[in-house]
């Protein structure tokens, strides 16, 4: 399995437009964070987690040649508004691209992208999507995919667990708390990735300390935090985190 972090930032991205803070002005390339998305690959399949507003830029930067399916986490703008950029890939696919989402996120997608439920006009090239509501684990192209319900404000939030060829990866990009049933599904995965917005608490995101506690409960072989905001630099996050837990950064690639 190979996981590539296409983006690791919170909703504003870093630098935030118009901001002169030390993190937004940092020379450390790890402090430049696009909105959060990941590419999960096996020898047979390429899956995308979320469609942030930066998706087109990320697809070009990482030279993504194909996307076989998309796993959506929730309907906040920073995870959704690159959705229409999938069109570049669906145009070349013989069948509609499968996309899985929670019931609430699927409803939002149908409201924003009304073409999902309309027959295409002849000669046009709208994204051809097969949208599925994910409530149970399912198999797709050699992956076992499990939705991971989590609490994140008013969003109908799900993280995802990916299992392939004896390897496992769990990612919950945005969350405040993780219910015990989801913790049980994540326990002992090879790689776990969680939300950690900043050092101060936030009403709908974990801060670094909350994320550390949840990652220790999961007990993955490797643990990373993402979705950092401009209040904490990569180096500051590294210093704050205990051994065995690190901040991810854009372009980080883990293969095992
Ligand atoms: Zn987010
Ligand atoms: Zn800033
Ligand atoms: Zn969110």
Ligand 1 centroid to residue 10 C-alpha, Å: 5
What pLDDT is recorded for position 125?
A: 85
pLDDT at 244: 96
For residue 108, the CA-to-ligand 3 centroid distance in Å is 14
Residue 51's Cα: distance from chain center in Å? 8
- CA 35 to ligand 1 centroid distance, Å: 7
pLDDT at 27: 98
- Locate 100 and state its tokens: 């899985």
CA of 247 to the centre of ligand 2 (A): 18
Kindly identify the ligand whose nearest atom is closest to the C-alpha of 24: 2
How many whole angstroms from 83 Cα to the centroid of ligand 2?
26
Summarize pLDDT for 9-63 with one digit per residue, the tens. Answer: 999 999 999 999 999 999 999 999 999 999 999 999 999 999 999 999 999 999 9
- Show the beta-strand stretches assigned E in the chain: 2-7, 37-41, 46-49, 69-71, 97-101, 129-133, 138-140, 143-149, 158-164, 167-172, 191-195, 222-226, 245-247, 253-255
Share of the chain above pLDDT 90, in %: 96
| Structure confidence by residue, pLDDT tens digits, 147-166 | 999 999 999 999 999 999 99
> What does the DSSP 8-state code read for residue 165?
T
pLDDT tier, 207 (very low <50, low <70, confident <90, very high otherwise):
very high
Q: Which ligand minimizes its atom distance to the CA of 227?
A: 1
State the pLDDT at residue 120.
80
Q: From ligand 1's centre to the CA of 123, what distance in Å?
A: 35
Q: How distant is the alpha carbon of residue 144 from its chain centre?
A: 17
**Mean pLDDT over all residues of the chain?**
97
Cα of 37 vs centre of ligand 1, distance in Å, is: 10
Q: How many CA atoms lie within 13 A of 235 on its CB side?
A: 6
Q: Which residues surround ligand 3, an ion (CB under 5 A)?
A: 76, 174
Dist. CA 221 → ligand 3 center (Å): 26
User: What is the 18 CA–ligand 2 centroid distance (Å)?
Assistant: 8
Candidates 150, 194, 152, 151; CA nearest to 169 is: 194
Tell me the pLDDT tens digit for each residue of 64-75: 999 999 999 999
Sign of CA dihedral 217, 190, 179, 193: positive
Kindly give the distance from the C-alpha atom of residue 152 to the centroid of ligand 1, in angstroms, as a whole number.
Answer: 10
- Between the alpha carbon of residue 229 and those of residues 6, 247, 255, the distances in Å are 16, 12, 26
Q: For the segment 83-93, what is each residue's pLDDT rounded down to a tens digit?
A: 999 999 999 99
Q: Say yes or no to pLDDT of 248 above 90.
A: yes
Query: How high is the pLDDT of residue 123?
Result: 85
Domain span holding position 226: 2-255
d(CA 151, CA 154) in angstroms, rounded, equals 8
Query: What is the pLDDT, as a whole number, of residue 202?
Result: 98
The whole-number pLDDT of residue 121 equals 84
Q: Could you say which DSSP state residue 123 is in?
A: T
Q: Is the pLDDT of residue 124 over 90?
A: no
Q: What is the CATH number of the domain that holds 210?
A: 3.60.15.10
What's the CA-to-centroid distance between 70 and ligand 1, angstroms?
A: 16
Whether residue 227 contacts residue 74, with contact meaning beta carbons closer than 8 Å, is answered with no
Number of domains within the chain: 1
């Amino acid at each position: 399995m190979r996981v590539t972090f296409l983006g690791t930032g919170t909703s504003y991205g870093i630098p935030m437009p118009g901001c002169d803070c030390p993190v937004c002005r940092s020379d450390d390339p790890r402090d430049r964070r696009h909105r959060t998305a990941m590419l999960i690959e096996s020898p047979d399949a390429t899956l995308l987690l979320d469609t942030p507003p930066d998706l087109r830029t990320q697809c070009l930067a990482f030279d993504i040649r194909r996307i076989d399916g998309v796993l959506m986490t929730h309907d906040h703008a920073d995870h959704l508004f690159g959705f229409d950029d999938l069109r570049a890939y669906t145009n070349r696919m013989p069948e509609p691209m499968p996309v899985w989402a929670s019931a609430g996120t699927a409803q939002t997608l149908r409201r924003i992208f009304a073409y999902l439920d309309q027959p295409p006009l002849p000669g046009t090239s709208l994204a051809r999507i097969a949208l599925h509501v994910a409530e149970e684990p399912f198999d797709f192209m050699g992956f076992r995919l499990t939705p991971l319900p989590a609490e994140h404000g008013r969003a109908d939030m799900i993280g995802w667990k990916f299992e392939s060829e004896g390897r496992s990866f769990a990612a919950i990009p945005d969350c405040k708390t993780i219910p015990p049933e989801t913790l049980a599904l994540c326990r002992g995965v090879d790689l776990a990735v969680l939300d950690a917005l900043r050092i101060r608490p936030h009403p709908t995101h974990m801060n670094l300390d909350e994320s550390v506690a949840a990652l220790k409960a999961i007990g993955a072989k490797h643990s990373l935090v993402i979705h950092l905001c401009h209040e904490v630099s990569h180096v500051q996050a590294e210093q704050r985190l205990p051994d065995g837990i690190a901040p991810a950064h854009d372009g980080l690639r883990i293969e095992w």
